[in-house]
């Protein structure tokens, strides 16, 4: 079998898994119908622009995020830190976490010459999304002392902008995993550290926005998450340029 034919078959396999993922998300009520369809579009664009490495990173974010959300659900509900979307995550939440990666994927697909930098930015955005999700979902359970990221005073876990050392480290671990997947696909070099840093900075930016403008109800959580992933992408861009 020729290499070209193998690539075609692998591509169709990815399309199959994307379709299966959309269907499964709807059937299991993990996502609303609109969110699942949008998630399929996000996955397609990330694959077209980021290749197999891009879609694997995105799938990894979804798997880790879903697993972290389900751990200690009762305790998180008692603290008011659990997601209240019983009917499944919405299209807004999908766009908040995957929108930046999808836009970048479309750019890389349309302008292949930009692929090296854009694919790095995709990794940065997914690292930030993963770091934020893991630190939020698991930090509440693992943390011992919780602080407001602006005042550094003790605060209630589950509130916007409240962090713990354990949660921050868990988020960093998520960024390390994403960076490792990227490096497997693109080679082991300084970009590994850039992606980890992008995930950590994006997560911290999310907490700062949560403690300030989100607490004042000036912007919502979806926009905060979108800005978190955008920050991760821009950190990678900046490091690439300098």
How many C-beta neighbours within 10 Å does residue 21 have?
Answer: 18
Q: How confident is the model at residue 77 (pLDDT cuts 50, 70, 90)?
A: low
pLDDT tens for 103-152 read 999 999 999 999 999 999 999 999 999 999 999 888 888 788 899 999 98
For residue 66, what pLDDT is reported?
84
Residue 144: per-residue pLDDT: 84
What is the arithmetic mean of pLDDT over 199-219? Answer: 94
- What distances in angstroms separate CA 226 from CA 58, 122, 203, one per listed residue? 15, 13, 11
User: How far is it, in rounded angstroms, from Cα 232 to Cα 195?
Assistant: 8
Average pLDDT value for residue range 69-96? 70
Q: Report the pLDDT value the prediction gives residue 73, as an integer from 0 to 100.
A: 65
- Residue 156 has what DSSP assignment? -
Q: Given this model, what pLDDT does residue 75 score? A: 65
Quickly state the pLDDT bin for 157 (edges 50, 70, 90). Answer: confident
Reference 34, options 94, 91, 111; nearest CA is: 91
CA-to-CA distance for 47 and 104, rounded, in angstroms? 11
Among 122, 108, 168, which residue's Cα sits nearest to residue 144?
168
pLDDT of residue 31: 86
What's the rounded Cα separation, in Å, for the pair 142 and 154?
A: 16
pLDDT (0 to 100) of residue 118: 97
Say what the pTM is: 0.91
Helix (H) or strand (E) holding 163: strand 162-163
Instruction: For residues 145 and 157, give the distance between their C-alpha atoms in angstroms, rounded to a whole number.
Output: 9
DSSP-assigned letter for residue 219: S
* Contacts for 207 with CB less than 8 Å, ≥ 6 apart: 149, 161, 162, 163
């Amino acid at each position: 079998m020729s290499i070209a034919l193998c690539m075609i078959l692998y591509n169709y396999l990815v399309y199959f898994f994307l379709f299966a993922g959309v269907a499964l998300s709807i059937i299991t009520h993990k996502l609303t119908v609109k969110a699942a369809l949008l998630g399929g579009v996000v996955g397609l664009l990330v694959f077209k622009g980021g290749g197999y490495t891009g879609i694997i990173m995105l799938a990894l974010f979804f798997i880790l995020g879903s697993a972290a959300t389900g751990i200690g659900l009762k305790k998180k509900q008692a603290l008011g830190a659990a997601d209240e979307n019983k009917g499944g995550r919405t299209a807004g939440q999908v766009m908040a976490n995957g929108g930046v990666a999808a836009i970048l994927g479309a750019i890389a697909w349309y302008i292949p010459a930009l692929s090296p930098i854009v694919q790095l930015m995709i990794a940065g955005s997914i690292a930030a999304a993963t770091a934020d999700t893991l630190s939020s979902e698991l930090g509440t359970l693992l943390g011992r002392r919780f602080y407001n990221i602006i005042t550094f005073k003790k605060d209630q876990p589950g509130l916007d902008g409240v962090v713990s050392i354990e949660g921050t480290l868990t988020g960093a671990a998520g960024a390390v995993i994403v960076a490792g997947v990227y490096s497997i696909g693109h080679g082991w070099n300084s970009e590994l550290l850039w992606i980890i840093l992008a995930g950590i900075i994006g997560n911290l930016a999310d907490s700062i926005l949560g403690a300030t403008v989100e607490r004042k109800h000036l912007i919502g959580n979806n926009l905060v998450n979108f800005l978190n992933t955008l920050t991760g992408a821009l950190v990678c861009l900046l490091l690439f340029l300098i």
